């Protein structure tokens, strides 16, 4: 217990010191975020905060490795470190000199293959303690591959508002930890909390109080998406992924639904799916008249409710767990639908005037 608290404290300290140092260096050398059609900020703001998150997480993992036995997880955790490092380096490089979409996808594919080789895969789909389980067999590899690529990019897209991606990542990582505690995997739970702590060190400077002093950049958002896609795949003692796909997807329902909406919107308008626009979730809420801080509060509160429902589902189990899980998917659909139609009403009224 004491060792675990020390690991968390050092990880937080490493993150907060790293981010503070990056702010000073980027300001000194005029390395600031650019403004495009997807972004809503103004002024000169550094965008390399993801470096602090990565350093905090890496320091925490190294200390955890020195204090506990990683072999209990049933995975090669070095595959997670290597895969996330590939994503992180690609993302930071992209922050300095934007990559073409095909090259970023290639780097993501390589990182995904690395963690698949480290035994990070979904192996079956289950629903609570109901008598239902689909053993995926060979299909676990392509399905897990698509999951990792999808979540990595979903988090990259949701990062467009001060504190939003960091808040979603923190709450999601803590919820993962609840699952691992339920399955008595304390080391895996610590891995999840280390990620949350590393992000909190970044949020000290990223929350809109009144405005963010630094952004995480692609290096941070893609790194977080990648790690959050892999953490549910850490094994239980019987060799199965701890967090089944329906539960993992429910926890990340906000970035997943936002990405699905973006792909549908761009296909409908005949544009490339990677083309920027101002109709992500946070853009729509701002269009409805909410301030940036109010939008963050709305999104973070909804994420907290989702995490609470999913956490209750894992502890209750049985048919009530399935009901809670379905409720999360329906709440998310209702939430996005209301905002979508409200956005259309505002745009129609504006055009008619």
Instruction: Give the tens place of pLDDT for each residue, 87-126.
Output: 999 999 998 888 998 999 999 999 999 999 998 998 877 7
If we measure between CA atoms, which residue out of 242, 246, 73, 250 comes closest to residue 143?
A: 246
Instruction: Give the tens place of pLDDT for each residue, 35-60.
Output: 555 555 455 788 899 999 999 999 99
pLDDT at position 19 over 90: yes
Instruction: Give the tens place of pLDDT for each residue, 295-304.
Output: 999 999 999 9
What is the percent of the chain with per-residue pLDDT over 70, rounded to a whole number?
90
Please state, rounded to an integer, the average pLDDT across all residues of the chain. Answer: 88
State the Cα angle at 139 between 133 and 145, rounded to 5°. 110
10 Å Cβ neighbour count for 237? 12
Weakest-pLDDT range from 100-109, 171-180, 272-281: 272-281
Distance CA 162, CA 135 (A): 41
- If you ran DSSP here, which 8-state letter would residue 235 be given? B
What is the percent of the chain with per-residue pLDDT over 90, rounded to a whole number?
61
Task: Give the pLDDT mean for 324-340.
Answer: 95
Instruction: Give the tens place of pLDDT for each residue, 224-256.
Output: 999 999 999 987 655 555 788 889 999 999 999
């Amino acid at each position: 217990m004491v060792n675990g608290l020390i690991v968390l404290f050092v990880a937080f300290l490493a993150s907060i010191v790293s981010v503070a140092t990056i702010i000073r260096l980027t300001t000194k050398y005029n390395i600031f975020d650019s403004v495009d059609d997807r972004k809503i900020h103004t002024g000169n703001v550094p965008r390399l905060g993801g470096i602090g998150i990565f350093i905090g997480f890496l320091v925490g993992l190294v200390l955890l490795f020195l204090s506990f036995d990683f072999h209990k997880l049933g995975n090669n955790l070095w595959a997670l470190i290597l895969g996330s490092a590939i994503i992180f380096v690609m993302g930071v490089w992209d922050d300095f000199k934007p990559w073409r979409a095909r090259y970023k996808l290639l780097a993501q594919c390589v990182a995904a293959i690395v963690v698949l080789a480290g035994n990070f895969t979904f192996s079956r789909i289950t629903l609570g303690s109901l008598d239902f389980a689909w053993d995926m067999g060979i299909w676990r590899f392509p399905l897990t591959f698509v999951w990792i690529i999808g979540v990595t990019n979903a988090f990259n897209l949701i990062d467009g508002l001060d504190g939003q991606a960091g808040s979603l990542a923190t709450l999601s990582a803590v919820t993962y930890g609840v699952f691992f505690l339920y399955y008595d995997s304390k080391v895996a739970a610590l891995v999840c909390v280390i990620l949350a702590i590393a992000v909190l060190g970044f949020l000290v400077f990223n929350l809109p109080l009144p405005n963010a002093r630094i952004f995480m950049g692609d290096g941070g958002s893609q790194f977080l998406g990648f790690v959050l896609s892999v953490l549910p795949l850490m094994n239980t003692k019987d060799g199965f992924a701890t967090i089944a796909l329906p539960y993992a997807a429910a926890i990340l329902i906000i970035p997943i639904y936002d990405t699905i909406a973006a792909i549908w919107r761009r296909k409908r308008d005949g544009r490339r799916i990677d083309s920027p626009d101002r109709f992500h979730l946070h853009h729509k809420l701002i269009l409805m008249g909410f301030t940036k801080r109010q939008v963050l509060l709305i999104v973070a509160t909804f994420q907290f409710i989702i995490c609470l429902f999913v956490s209750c589902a894992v502890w209750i189990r049985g048919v009530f767990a399935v009901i809670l899980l379905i409720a999360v998917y329906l709440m998310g659909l209702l939430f996005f639908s209301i905002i979508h139609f409200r956005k259309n009403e505002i745009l129609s009224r504006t055009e008619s005037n």
